[in-house]
Each structure stands twice: as C-alpha cells, then as structure tokens.
Amino acid sequence: MQAALLWAALVFYAFGIAMTVPSVIRRRPTLSPSTLAAVGFGLLLHASALALAGAQIRRLPLTDVCSALSFFSFLATLAFFLVYLRYRMAALGLFMLPLVFVLTMISALHPERPLANPAFRGGWLLIHIGSSILGYTAFFLTFVAALMYLFQERELKSRRPRALYYRLPSLEVCDELYSRSLLLGLPFLSLGILTGFVSASRMWKGPWELDPKILASLVTWLIYLVLFSTRLSGAYRGRRSAYLAIFGFVAILATFLGISLWSGQHGYVPELGRLP
Amino acid sequence: MNLLLVGMNHRTAPVEVRERLNIPESRLAAAVSDLVRREGILEGLILSTCNRVEFIVSAAEGLDAEACLRQFLAEYYQRDFRTYANYLYWYHEQEAIKHLFRVTASLDSMLVGEPQILGQMKRAYAIAHESGALGGLLNELVTQAFAVARKVRRETAIGTAAVSVSYAAVELAKKIFGNLTGKTIFVIGAGKMSELAAKHLLHSGASAIFVSNRTYDRAVELAQTFHGTAIRFEQLPDYVGKADIIISSTGAPHFVVQKHQVEKMLAARKNRPMFFIDIAVPRDIDPAVNELDNAFLYDIDDLEQVVDANKKQREREAVYAEEIVQQEVQKMVRRLAARELGPTIVALEQRLDRIREGEMERYRSRLGSLTPEQREALDALTRGIVNKILHGPITELKSGAGRPEHGMLVQLIRKMFGIGE
C-alpha cells in the first residue's frame, strides 16, 4: 500500500517539475498555482506513505535505508514548500525539486525492510537517525542556497546580465537562506552525532569509533562546524563559503549513501553489517 | 455596437502636430461633454498626454461615427482638418478595443512598460465619468482595460527591468543587497550624475549617506541636501568601508580607491558585500577591485550594458504581454457579442412576426369569412413559414457565439432584417 502511495506521490512530483520548466524558461517570477498544487498533493501522498509505514512498525519510519531516504526527501520537499512560501521565487523549484525527485525515486525503487535489523528498535537510535536527517535537510537547503548564490554572483561579477540574472533572487536573499539553514542544521546534526555515539556505545563493543561511516560523519560534522564559524565571523563569506557548503553536502551524500554500503559495523544494509 | 477610436501618437505625428492637438486637463471635461452632446454619440472618452491624443466613442447603431467625429474635430480645433488628417489613425469595433487595451497596458508607449500611462488613463476615465460622458459600454471597456493592464504587469516582467543608467544602478544594488533599507551610500565627488544616482538610491530605501569632495565646502553643500555627513577627502579610506554602495565621479586622473584599500575595508566589514559604481572618466576605482570576493564594481560602460540587456528583456516580455492582450480582447468581443445575441434573436422574431401579422391583416378581406378551424390553420401555416425561415439565421447566431467573427454576423443579420438599435 505504501509503495503505491509513494509511486503516486512521485507521479505528482514529476508533474510539478514538468510545470516548473515553462515558468522558469518564460521567466515568470513565480510558479503557477497548478505546479504548487501538484507538488502539494504529492507531498500529502508522500506523507501518507510514511505515516502508513510508521504505523506498521509503531515508530518513525527510519529503520532502514530506504525509509530514511524517503523521509529525507519528504522533509526536503516540505522545506521547498516552506521556503517557497516565504520567498516566492520560481528558480527555487528548478534547483530543489529534481534532486528531491531522484531521491524519492531511489527509495521507491528499493524494497523496504522495516525491522530487518533488530537493533533498530531502540529509542536512542531513532533519535540519532531522525536528528541527522533533519540536519541533512537543513544542509540541503544550504546547498541549494549556495548554488543559487554562486550562479547569481557569477552573473553580477561578469557585468553582462544573461538569462540567470533575471531568474535568480538577490545575493542577500540567497545568503539569508544560506545562513539560516546553516544555523538550523548544525544543532540537529550535532544532536544526531551525539545520540549516535550514545547508541553505539550501548550497542557495540570494540573500536566502533574507527568505523568508516562514523569517521566520515565526524568529518562532515567538522566541515559544517568550520562553515558555520567562518560565516559567522565573516572570515569566509560569499563565494568561498558557498564552495565549502557544496563540498559539505557532497560529503553528506557520500556519508549517507556511499559508506552505508561499505561500512563494517555501521552498515545499514544488514547482510554487510556485522552487528552483534 | 458602434465603437470608434481616433487619435495620433508619438509614432504617427511629430511633436509640433501633437502639441497643437493636445487638450490640457483643465479643458478636458468641457471637451468630452461637447463630444457626447453631438447627435448620435452616446458615450465618449478623451485621452491627452504628451505622447498621444485619442478619442474613443460609442455611437448609435447605423450612425456614420467617422463622419461625425471628423466634424467634431474640425469644429473643436477650429483648424483645417486636412492639416493633421494624415497623422490620425482610426480603429473600429474590435480593433478599437485592442488599441485601448494595448495603450492602457503601456504596450503602445514610447517606452514599453512605463507606468505613467495607467495613471493618465485613470485621470481621463475619471474626467469622462464626472462629465457624465460614460455609459455602459465604455465604462465596461475601460474598466476591463485597467484589469488587463494589471494582469500584464503581474504576469510579465515588462515593467521591471531598468532602462536608464541611474535606475540600472539601483536595480543592481537590489540584486546584491536585497532591499536597500538601512544601507549606506558614499558619494565621492559631488557631480550631477552621482547626485542623481544617490537620489534614486535614497528614494529606494537607502538611509545614510556620506559625501566627500576635493573641496570640502562642496561636499558639505551636497551632504546637507541629503541630510548626510560630509567627509574630508584625505579621510576617504577610513570612511568608505562604512558604506555599502559607493558612487564615484571625481575628475581625478588617478585611482581614488585602490584594490588593497578595498581588501582591508572588506575584512573590517566581515566581508559584507560592497557595490562600487564608477561613473568617472578617467575611472576613479581600480578595476582590479572587481576581482575581490564580495566586491562588485561597475563602470559607466557596464551600466550601459545592463541597460541594453534590460531593454532586450523588456522586448521579450512585451511579446508575452501582446499575447495576453490578444486573449483578453477576444474574451471581451465574445462577451459583448453574446450580450447582443439575446436581444437580436428576440428582435428578429418580433420583426418577422410583425410582418406575418401585417400580411394576414392585409389579406383578411380577400380571404373572406373563415371558419375558426381555417383561421387556426392559416395562423399555423404562416407561423410555420416564419419559423422555418428563421431557423437558419438563429441556429447560426447561437452556434457562432464562440467565434470572433460572431460580432460581424450579428451586425449583418441586424442590417439584413432591418432591425434597428
């Protein structure tokens, strides 16, 4: 049932994306109401799919990599909606929706194995996963804002306005979105890492600190810490900060998806992970 | 519907001709009252601006509105009509509606997308309304023209991109800083151009302003007009960093602001962006400043480039705007035609019925006395003939209601069957 709902949500997301394209090509300042309706309805379907999955296992649907991915893409789409309602720029849809669509599709294509791993029933672990995902969502916004900033900054530096100049928001708006999402993301990610350490120490013995995924997450967290402090102090602002934010998000994707498949103890994929 | 629009604009007539036909606002009410007093002119509106003079009238059916208006113009202007007849354009019916919509949406203006025409049209509408010159049709058309203008501005970007250098500077500042409230301006060199740019920026929300000039007194003078602060020229490097937008137009032969100075300023400002506008020739600000992260430098050529790009953008948007206007014109024409449809059909039926009854009356004596059944049969016979004749035209009228040529069809049928207003 939830698979069907998820696919239905994907269809509506696809409609939404398809309808964004003419808006941006024709330089309409805002997205059409039908685009918003399509994405909104898709969001509802997506939420229902997640709610059903959650109801089945009687906790948040975060217990396997596909559910977590689905949850992440849901939050990202929700974030798109909230940010769009605040800033009302069509370009936002073009930057955010395709990536979200791809992530949702990946999660729809892989079967869910909700409680395949008994370890994923504990409370701490779910807080760890949930908090990390919230952090990732915020940093996804940071990534999008950084991209838009870079494109617009390049236009302004070139002094010859071309297509993107008219369609992207001001540098200030990009920077505002950037710093606010950064401010939101770091506490969540920190909480995620902390609760992760707590769960790990309760669940595993041995040098789990050296597990690749855990190390990678720490590196990611450090990147964002640097990003946050340099932006706050103004030491890095503008282009340099934006490049770092993009690198940071790539690190997140690598940590979340890539290493999940290779990690020893931290492997999300039960067959590969050797959990006690 | 008997709608006529006549006028001239900056494209059809030179200013010497336009100024002679211009009607100042003080005389507009009298002119439009005079217009509708004419025999057969039901409603009227006059628009007179520095770039155009236009008369739009709704006349009684069957009236030669063009002749009537020609006479009005000759009498009003007290001038030989032929001296300006060549400069006039005449639009009828649907074309008149289209022209009205286009003008109000600023698509016929010298600078497409300019906002003044809407206000001017509103004034003209108000004056015509007060003078009692407006009736149902023009009222509806002009109100709809306002709605279409709003729609065009909302759904296209024809009015947004700046097409003058000083407005382009403001627009760029907004692209960097978002909104300008609380931003500080620094004017280096008190010249006319920088004064103008500063004025626009202050008008758009910038709050504080510093002024510096080689002669301190001149700086004080300019600072006072803007309620700003004057800075001694020697202290320039210490204060420029406090500003977000810097406009420079001194006559200095060397660079007044250097790259290494800006580097220090940016660091002191925690890298909050700075926007430099260099309108001086030779340039005041080292072009290498643009290489710095968070500093943006535009010289006079760059601003002209932005204006050119914006003009092209406006032209592109104008294409979309024309599409919107065209759609709205079609909608309006269909709506008006549908309204004429009902009364036309009724009038048609009544006309033929009167003919039928008239003929029956005429031949009553020749028919002699008839039995009730015979009279009934005769009645049914004539009614049947009339209905069959009417069936064709009425079906055509009803089915054609969606098509643009429907208005003409209605007029034609009214003419053919002699149905008056």
pLDDT tens, residue by residue, A81-104: 888 888 777 777 878 888 888 888
* pLDDT on residue A276: 36
Measured in degrees and rounded to the nearest 5, phi and psi for residue B55 equal: -120, 130
- What pTM value is reported for the model? 0.74
Query: In which residue are the tokens 């602001």 written?
Result: B257
Residue A270 has pLDDT above 50, yes or no: no
Chain B neighbors of A91, CB-CB under 8 A: none
Residue A265 has pLDDT above 60, yes or no: no
Q: Could you give the C-alpha distances from B341 to B347, B391, B392, B411, in angstroms and in order?
A: 10, 15, 15, 10
Residue A71: Cβ-neighbour burial (10 angstroms; 0-12, 13-18, 19+) = buried
Distance from CA of A113 to the nearest CA of B (A): 47
Least confident of A47-51, B149-153, B189-193: B189-193
pLDDT band at A268 (very low <50, low <70, confident <90, very high): very low
Residue B294 has its nearest CB partner, among A166, A173, A237, at A237
Express each pLDDT in B24-76 by its tens digit.
989 999 999 999 998 889 999 999 998 999 999 999 877 888 899 998 998 89
Measured in degrees and rounded to the nearest 5, phi and psi for residue B178 equal: 75, -115
Cβ-contact A168, A151 below 8 angstroms: yes
ipTM surpasses cut 0.85? no
Distant-in-sequence, close-in-space partners of B82: CB < 8 Å, separation ≥ 6 = none
* pLDDT on residue A260: 58
Residue A8 has pLDDT above 80, yes or no: yes
pLDDT band at A67 (very low <50, low <70, confident <90, very high): confident
Residue B333 has pLDDT above 70, yes or no: yes
The more confidently predicted of residues A262 and A144 is A144
Query: Could you tell me the two tokens for A212?
Result: 């690749």
Q: In what order do the strands lie in the sheet with B89-92?
A: B41-48, B52-59, B3-9, B89-92
* pLDDT on residue A271: 34
Domain limits, chain A:
1-116, 121-276
Distance CA A83, CA A93 (A): 10
Is A164's Cβ below 8 Å from some Cβ in B?
no
The more confidently predicted of residues A177 and B414 is A177
Distance from CA of B154 to the nearest CA of A (A): 9
* pLDDT on residue A130: 86
Is A271's Cβ below 8 Å from some Cβ in B?
no
Chain A neighbors of B158, CB-CB under 8 A: none
Least confident of A107-116, A122-131, B157-166, B365-374: A107-116
Distance from CA of B317 to the nearest CA of A (A): 9
Residue A118 has pLDDT above 80, yes or no: no
Beta bridge partners of B4: B57, B92
Query: Could you tell me the two tokens for B45?
Result: 């509106």
Distance CA A50, CA A61 (A): 6
* pLDDT on residue A269: 37
Distance from CA of B65 to the nearest CA of A (A): 42
The more confidently predicted of residues B325 and A231 is B325
**For B174-198, b where at least 16 C-beta lie within 10 A, e where not — what string?**
bbbbbebeebbbbbbbbbebbbbbb
* pLDDT on residue B98: 96
Chain A neighbors of B302, CB-CB under 8 A: 159
The more confidently predicted of residues B341 and A27 is B341
Of B163, B135, B108, B172, the closest CA to residue B325 belongs to: B108
The more confidently predicted of residues B275 and B364 is B275
Is A28's Cβ below 8 Å from some Cβ in B?
yes
* pLDDT on residue A216: 81
Distant-in-sequence, close-in-space partners of B367: CB < 8 Å, separation ≥ 6 = B378
Distance CA B43, CA B137 (A): 8
Q: Percent of chain A beyond pLDDT 70?
A: 83
Across the interface, whether the CB atoms of A152 and B175 are under 8 A apart is answered: yes
The more confidently predicted of residues A208 and A251 is A251
Tell me the mean pLDDT in the region A140-158: 92
H or E, element range at B11: none
Query: Could you tell me the two tokens for A115?
Result: 């409680």
pLDDT band at A209 (very low <50, low <70, confident <90, very high): low
Across the interface, whether the CB atoms of B172 and A156 are under 8 A apart is answered: yes
Q: Identify residues of B whose CB sits under 8 angstroms from chain A CBs.
A: 155, 157, 161, 172, 174-179, 269-273, 290, 293-294, 296, 298, 302, 305-306, 309-310, 313, 316-317, 320
Is A234's Cβ below 8 Å from some Cβ in B?
yes
Q: What domains does chain B contain, in order, with CATH numbers?
A: 3-155 (3.30.460.30), 165-304 (3.40.50.720), 341-416 (no CATH)
Chain B neighbors of A235, CB-CB under 8 A: 270-271
Query: In which residue are the tokens 């370009």 written?
Result: A91
Site from A165, A230, A241 to mutate, B interface, most B CB atoms within 10 angstroms: A165
pLDDT band at B325 (very low <50, low <70, confident <90, very high): very high
Tell me the mean pLDDT in the region B366-370: 81
Residue B322 has pLDDT above 90, yes or no: yes
pLDDT band at A272 (very low <50, low <70, confident <90, very high): very low
* pLDDT on residue A207: 65
Chain A neighbors of B296, CB-CB under 8 A: 156-157
Distance CA A122, CA A180 (A): 32
Distance from CA of B108 to the nearest CA of A (A): 22
* pLDDT on residue B64: 87
Residue B145: Cβ-neighbour burial (10 angstroms; 0-12, 13-18, 19+) = buried
* pLDDT on residue A27: 63
Of A248, A232, A148, the closest CA to residue B272 belongs to: A232
Please compute, for residue B183, the number of CA atoms within 13 A of its CA located in the half-sphere on the CB side.
Answer: 26
Residue A4 has pLDDT above 90, yes or no: no
Across the interface, whether the CB atoms of B320 and A26 are under 8 A apart is answered: yes
Residue A113 has pLDDT above 50, yes or no: yes
Q: Could you give the C-alpha distances from B139 to A63, B18, B34, B37, B337, in angstroms and in order?
A: 66, 27, 18, 18, 17
Helices (H) and strands (E) in chain A, counts: 9, 0
In terms of phi and psi (left: phi > 0; alpha: psi -120 to 50; beta: otherwise), the region of A61 is: beta
Q: Which residues of B are catalytic?
A: 50
Across the interface, whether the CB atoms of B178 and A176 are under 8 A apart is answered: yes
